[in-house]
Amino acid sequence: MKKHLSFSLRYFVFWIILFATYRLAFIVYQFENLESLKFNELVNIFIRGAWMDTSLAGYILLLTFLLLALFFWVYPRTLSKIISALTAMLLLVINTVAISDMELYRNWGFRIDATPLLYLKTPKEAMASVKTPLLILFIALLAVITFLTHLACLKWVAKGFEQAKPLKWWHSPIMLFIAATMIIPIRGGFGIAPMNPGKVYFSQNNFCNHAALNPVWNMMYSISKSSTMNKTYKVEIEKDIAQQRFTELMHTDSVIHVLNNPKPNIIIILLESFGGKLVEPLGGLPEVTPNLNKLCGEGLLFKKTFASGDRSDKGIIAVLAGFPAQPTQSVIKYPTKSRKLATISGVLHDHGYNNTFYYGGDPDFANIRLFLFQAKFQRLVTQDDFPRSYRNSKWGVHDEHVFNYLLNDLDTAKGPFFKMFFTLSSHEPFEIPTERKFKGNNELKQYLSSVYYTDSCLGDFISKARTKDWYKNTLIILIADHGHRQPGNHPNHEPLKYGIPMVWLGGALTQKPMVIDNTCSQIDLAATLLAQLNLPHDQFTLSKNILASKVTPFAYFAFNEGFGYVNQTDTIVYDLVGQKYLHEKGVNLEQTKTDAWTFFKAYQEVFSNL
């Protein structure tokens, strides 16, 4: 058994060395990018990349230990031949992907993913774009490298394995146990977030982030997501009618300016799970958010705002990119699509803003880190920027510490700046570092207490901010990432679950207080804010300026396999699987259904073209 374990360890190291070698070859091949690399970035490319390499090697070792467990009775000489054949197949696939990726990146600007598979539908046309000498060189190079790497594996990894004794039957459970432990490297450790492309992102230089990716792992990940990513639903509206109506729905007139400065500092505070059912001015409970209740009467209150989805990853996309939530998984998990989204932070960066994102947790969760780098945030402040003693929550650092960190940063920030803070203490399991406001151990009481805690942190932050010099030229936007089923334990399709607060505050406002009664969505923040700044926002095709003199008020939201649509008078909710309406209420339902399907069709077209 000792020789079997020794072989497995060498086999693991063999793959790690191979992946690191390909990473070095990739960097050298993209020689035009070498000048932009700093030494510490080069080191980090290999350190972060090894994390993903270990994940892929974990998959290979999982298969290897399963073979050892299932064929414990086979003589190592025969078992060695089986593993040798498996290795040859793996090398052929891995070498093909890695070598192809080097040239494809030069032309595409992103690491290989599921995209090449799209061209298999038209192989003749795909091959027509490849020059014959290049194809011959590729095949020859692939054959030589596969032969040499396989030979190296036989000479070093398999050395001495054939002379080992067959395993005993009781060795099989041990091998199965070791195989099960491979879930640790496969997931990338013990953290909440499993391995994803964002885990290896670390630099503002996107080439560094791309170089850290393992091309085979990245392609596997992309393929695994492609089935749900490309899912389309039948639309109950004719194309011509939809096009005309969509133009009418999204048409806005002149901007109603509410800022006293065309280039103010901007702070967005994204409040975790702050449903409108908890905010008194929105018709919610009276004692849960006393500070936010007060702030609603001191700035611009958008009284009928809806979240676009029901998860944080969808909320971040909706707020920053003005892009609706999906009835399947969030677009943030599909780097091939999310990287093409325009973002508020991207536009601001291109017009001279310094961007920083604050989050007390792990930004690798749900691919958030990757998206933030793509969205041109120059700096991320995460749980790693705080002492370990502060990380006393399942999700990371409690909101009070991050609010204080943000406040200190703002005192030295050079404008114009864009800061975005995503709170976390009001996320399940609702852990807070203070005594609970609402007594009881049930979910509702714990949720209400956690929101009350974050609200107190928010109130303290705003109170201190008003004493600072930078406040008079700053716009602060408070908005939730999504609502919550509590209070009321509403089902996922219930419109009440999607109501959220949105309040604009700060010295940069000219008009306050004011209540905007138009129905709107998170996704409308992009066009609305950028219009106020006189910055381009045409690329946010699904976002509308709700501070226009003429606008059609409505909000779209999505849940798993369904969507809802709300305007000033009507509400409809549709089940895309059952193909039936779950909720119909209003005075002009036929027109509302037409509008809902119009927007849903437009969303599907934009999504499929990303």
Note the pLDDT tens digit of each residue in 494-532. Answer: 999 999 999 999 999 997 799 999 999 999 999 999 999
Distance in angstroms (rounded) separating the CA atoms of residues 464 and 469: 11
Distance in angstroms (rounded) separating the CA atoms of residues 530 and 541: 13
- pLDDT, tens only, 405-434: 999 999 999 889 999 999 999 998 899 999
**Mean pLDDT, to the nearest integer, of 188-205?**
84
What is the architecture, at CATH level 2, of domain 240-609?
Answer: 3-Layer(aba) Sandwich (3.40)
pLDDT at 34: 83
Q: What is the DSSP letter of 325?
A: P
Q: Count each helix (H run) and each strand (E run) in the chain, helices first.
A: 20, 15
SS (H, E, C) 493-504: CCHHHHEECEEE
User: What's the pLDDT band for 222 if we cut at 50, 70, 90?
Assistant: confident
- What tokens does 193 get? 């977030």
Backbone angles phi, psi at 496, to 5 degrees: -60, -30
**Is the bond preceding 487 in cis, omega lying within 30 degrees of 0?**
yes
Token look-up 């990018």 returns 33
The answer, yes or no, to whether residue 126 has pLDDT greater than 60, is no
The answer, yes or no, to whether residue 256 has pLDDT greater than 90, is yes
- pLDDT, tens only, 330-371: 888 788 889 899 999 999 999 999 999 999 998 887 778 889
Burial of 438: CB neighbours in 10 Å, binned 0-12, 13-18, 19+: middle
DSSP3 helix / strand / coil % (the chain, rounded to 5): 55, 10, 35
Alpha-carbon dihedral sign for residues 520, 525, 526, 528: positive
What residue segments make up the domains of the chain, in order of their start?
A: 2-227, 240-609
**Mean pLDDT, to the nearest integer, of 110-126?**
62
Query: Which helix (DSSP H) or strand (DSSP E) does residue 338 occupy?
Result: helix 335-338
- pLDDT, tens only, 13-33: 999 999 999 999 999 998 888
What percentage of the chain reaches a pLDDT higher than 90?
65
User: Helix H segments across 153-214?
Assistant: 171-181, 183-187, 206-212
Backbone angles phi, psi at 493, to 5 degrees: -95, 0
pLDDT at 381: 97
In this prediction the pTM is 0.80
| Residues 6 or more apart in contact with residue 539 via CB below 8 angstroms | 342
The answer, yes or no, to whether residue 446 has pLDDT greater than 90, is yes
User: What's the pLDDT band for 378 if we cut at 50, 70, 90?
Assistant: very high
Distance in angstroms (rounded) separating the CA atoms of residues 459 and 70: 61
